[in-house]
Amino acid sequence: MKYKYRVVGLDCANCANKIEAKLNACDKIEKASVNFSKETINVVSGNNNIKELVQDIVNSVEPDAKVLDKDETLNNKIKNDIFMVSLGIFLSIIQMFIKNNVVALIIIVLAYAILLYKVLIKAVKLLPKGVIDENLLISISCIGAFLTNNIHEGLMVIVLYDIGKILESIAVNNSRTSIAGLMDLKAEYANVLIDGEYQRVSPEKVKVGDIIRVLQGEKIPLDGIVTKGTAKLDVKSLTGESRLLDVTKDSIVLSGSICSNGMIEVKVTSLYENSTVAKILKLVETAEDRKAKTETFVSKAARIYTPTVLVLAILTVILLPTIFKLSFADSIYRALTFLVISCPCAIAISVPLSYFSGLGRASKDGILIKGSDYLDLLGNVKEIIFDKTGTITTGEFNDYELTILDNNCKRDDIINLIVAGEKLSNHPIAKSLCSLFNNFKGNKHVKDFKEINGMGIEYNLDNKHIKIGNHKFCNVTKKDNAIYINVDEVNVAKIILYDGIKKETKDVINLLKKLNINTKIFTGDSLEYAAIVSKEIGVNEVYAELLPTDKYKLLEEEINKYDNKVAFVGDGINDAPSLARANIGISLGGVGSDSAIEAADMIIMNDDLRKIITGIDISRYTSHIIKENLIFALGTKLLVLILSILGIASMWQAVFADTGVTLLTILNTVRILKRKDK
């Protein structure tokens, strides 16, 4: 069974990584993932009532953290922390004006106790369990400063540390709120027609076939078809498209869209769990559970980082008096400063938060990426392979040429044969044929219908065996991109469909070339037609007349050639094997398509190829921010560390190297969400 919990009071990404490791080490848990950025824990276990076990494991790393069910709430932790820090600061100021040394000492000890209490208690609780983290480092530093008569510096360390942690919590919560706002798709209710009246019910309770009404300003709660009314829909949250979408009777509408103007009645076509908005939210919820190599490395390194720092601090106390002939008190002070500097919060928080922000930013632009590992890889892709029909061309065939090859057959009879079979297929070409011949109903008495992937369809009708498909399927020696119609193994007609190239395709190919990304076309169409398309858009290499299995084999060769950095772009239906095999499968127009969502790693919510460039830009910018944060954090810590060993930097600078750097890296990460589209 799958369980999902909220975890409150988890202030450190390093602790989240430790909790995840312990959960996965538990024999009662099959799989677990902890998402610090979203404050969630996902657990797969065959046991019931797993919450108590999860709580115990969480508390073994973070004693103050609480594991909650979805709807549980806690009092505002940040307000309580602010009150305690304010009280500690107030007592610290008061003691400066007291002349009685004993009273002043009592007040300063009380201030220490108030400010250091939570940090020290955490450190003490975790120590018997073999967990050594930044709480212990700060506790040792502050107590050590007090005992070495650096009372005010120790006090300032804990004050600034506590303030820094509060600011970190506020910054992280603001980031979470910003990203949650990007994906605020779900409608709280649906206006359902029941016994002649519209009643508000939960979207989860609406059935297929129910009629719902959507008023101006409301979100569409479920996928459906408009039965009455007209409206302009805001679909920006779904597709990233700012232009309003006009809908009228018989228009297909998707859940998550907002009715900006007008009123419509909609016949529901899918249950909530199968709706577009449910699929999107599920993708967003699980995306961060797939971690990039950088994030994984930081998580592993953080587990051994703090104990290593503690050992180095002890060596500092021992070696400095010998090497530099310092007093024992001075070497202790510098070791304590070293401990403060070395807290890993900046790195542990900024890396996962950067990826989380990148995924959120992509979602805002109508791009769903299934994990930070794919976001990371997208910016390093060396080659992108495109399917042709429906990907670089519109896939909407608005013109055709029908040739009758058997004089005994009439044109209308041939068209009826085509429509009779093709209306049973979900292939884009089948839909185009039915659209072109929408005045023909076809015969309803089709039997033994079969669809052969990448070839065509066959069926029996009126005691005749019909085959409709490419030249190979219909045993035609001439290689072209025509669709042939066979009746009892005799070629009776052929039809050539014409679709246009998407207007943005050529610009996208040119931009990919400027980014040093190679492009190719894999298509099942004839080489002649594919060559014309590739020449027009500027793609140098094209492979035509391919079956899905042929595409798969060629794709494997490209993956080996380009060091596992190949993306495949397809329509998400017929190209599912290639989408799944590619290092990054990119599905266009996949909204509402189960095969697209399951097979692809990146889903573009409309057919706009320019979103590929947007995704690459977000990926590279996210990587840029991560590198900035790592260089800044490690560089600052190293500089202050050297200065502290030399006796130049004090604990004041050490606190900046810890909490100050952490806060700055979080604020720098927010730039990902604020970045404007190019």
Q: Which residues participate in catalysis according to the annotation?
A: 387
Helix (H) or strand (E) holding 201: strand 197-201
> Hey, is 197 helix, strand or coil?
strand
Could you write out the DSSP letters of every residue in 36-87? TTTTEEEEE-SSS--HHHHHHHHHHH-TT-EEE-TT-----HHHHHHHHHHH
3-state secondary structure 661-676: HHHHHHHHHCHHHHCC
Are residues 404 and 414 in contact, defined by beta-carbon separation less than 8 angstroms?
A: yes
The answer to whether the beta carbons of residues 266 and 253 sit under 8 Å apart is: yes
How far apart are alpha carbons 307 and 315 in whole angstroms?
A: 13
Q: Where are the alpha helices (DSSP H) in 343-475?
A: 345-364, 372-378, 411-422, 428-436
**633: closest CA among 583, 594, 667?**
667
What is the phi/psi pair of residue 584, to 5°? Answer: -135, 115
Lateral strand order in the sheet of 31-35 = 31-35, 40-44, 2-8, 66-68
Q: How many CA atoms lie within 13 Å of 83's alpha carbon, on the beta-carbon side?
A: 5
Question: What are the structure tokens assigned to 438, written together?
Answer: 């929408």
Which residues does 81 contact at the CB level (< 8 Å), separation at least 6? 162, 165, 166, 169
| The one-letter amino acid at 598 | E
The b/e string for 124-160 (b: 16+ C-beta within 10 A; e otherwise) is ebbeeeebbbbbbbbbbbbbbbbebebbebbbbbbbb
Written as six digits, the tokens of 608 are 């706009």
Contact indicator for 144, 338 with CB cutoff of 8 Å: no
d(CA 77, CA 62): 15
Structure tokens at 75: 């009092």
Give the three-state DSSP class for 602. Answer: strand
The total of other beta-carbon atoms located within 10 Å of residue 520's CB is 19
Which residues 6+ apart lie within 8 Å of 106 measured at CB? Answer: none
Tell me how far CA of residue 615 lies from CA of 23, 58, 363, 365, in angstroms. Answer: 33, 35, 10, 9
Q: What's the first-to-final CA gap in the chain, in angstroms?
A: 44
